[in-house]
Amino acid sequence: MTDIAYRPLGQTGIQVSAICLGTMTWGSQNSEAEAHAQIDYALDRGINFLDTAEVYPTTPGTPENRGSTESYIGNWIAGSGKRAQVVLATKVAGPSFMGPVRGGDNHLDRRNIELAVEDSLRRLRTDYIDLYQIHWPDRGVPKFGGRGLAALADPAGTVAIEETYAVMGDLVKAGKIRSFGVSNETPWGVAEYLRLARETGGPRVASIQNAYNLLNRVFEIGLSEFALRADVGLLAYSPLAAGYLSGKYQGGMVPPGARAAVAANFPRYRTARQAEVVARYIGIAHAYGLSPEALALAYVYSRKFVTSSIIGATSLAQLTADIDGSLVQLPEGALQAIEEVYSLNPDPCP
């Protein structure tokens, strides 16, 4: 097993660990003490990258606990004095987010972004954010399960990318953020942000946080070339496909406390072909003496276009297993077997 690698975050000059600690369960499935223990353990293992969002937790999320994840991190920062040891990423919610934010008018305009960043800075108890991400575009884009646009479907009041980009540039100039990234974005959107950077001389988009796992490799269609050619790497969320690639949901089982039990409003991985394809990947893992989790996590970690793989856990034991699994060197035979399964069953859970 190798040590955790460090990779450049786009062209920002920031180096991040190739494993990122996800925080989406903190404030719902995890207490503040558990969150702090996870950060301490991650740092001890060499992880310097934390990812959160203004709307976390979301498993489940309510208006009452929204923002508590950032507050937990902020209290850790204030208590530990280790702000300089972590690269801190958070997100501003666009209108595609599931539920109203800031009164329901959470467009990605100047007013909303400036309000959001000040609230995040206050909760995080810091005077700067290393990576500020756009959590869903403002315009109409394919949601979970969508593969593309058959027609334009921009909602009323859609904010142009030009305005969103200008605000991000101003926040960089003001020192409130060091860089910005996108999330749940399309090739067209990434191209637009890169175009604006070329034309204005402003900051380049640094990263793309999209889903990527053995059940959803849609990122490879279009976006991976941007990652490789334009230094806009993937921050891969759901490398275990919300736990489905562990096999714990096979046969319709839903263990108490599992994400599928507490967040039934996330249907992305409950598709007709999912169980059959997961069974095939489990078979590959067992054939090579690996856990299903290690097969899935190591595959994502090893992709050349991935800057960092975002893992989340509800216990230290799970976090340990996820880190160890990510660092496994997959045998060539296992990689070939994965591609054989994928060629017959591409993206059952886009």
What are the catalytic residues? 56
Q: Which helix (H) or strand (E) holds 153?
A: none
**Ranges assigned E (strand) in the chain:** 6-8, 15-17, 19-22, 49-51, 87-93, 131-135, 180-183, 205-211, 233-237, 306-311
Buried b (16+ CB within 10 A) or exposed e, 128-143: ebbbbbbbbbbbebee
Neighbours of 279 (CB within 10 A): 13
- Sign for the CA dihedral angle at 243, 145, 56, 73 comes to positive
Q: State the first-to-last Cα distance of the chain, in angstroms, to the nearest integer.
A: 31
Adjacent-strand bridge partners of 233: 207
Nearest-10 crossing angle of helices 161-173, 110-124: 40
Helix, coil or strand: residue 229: helix
**Among 295, 301, 143, residue whose Cα is nearest residue 234:** 301
AA letter at 87: V
Buried b (16+ CB within 10 A) or exposed e, 251-278: eeeeeeebbbebbeebebbebeebbebb
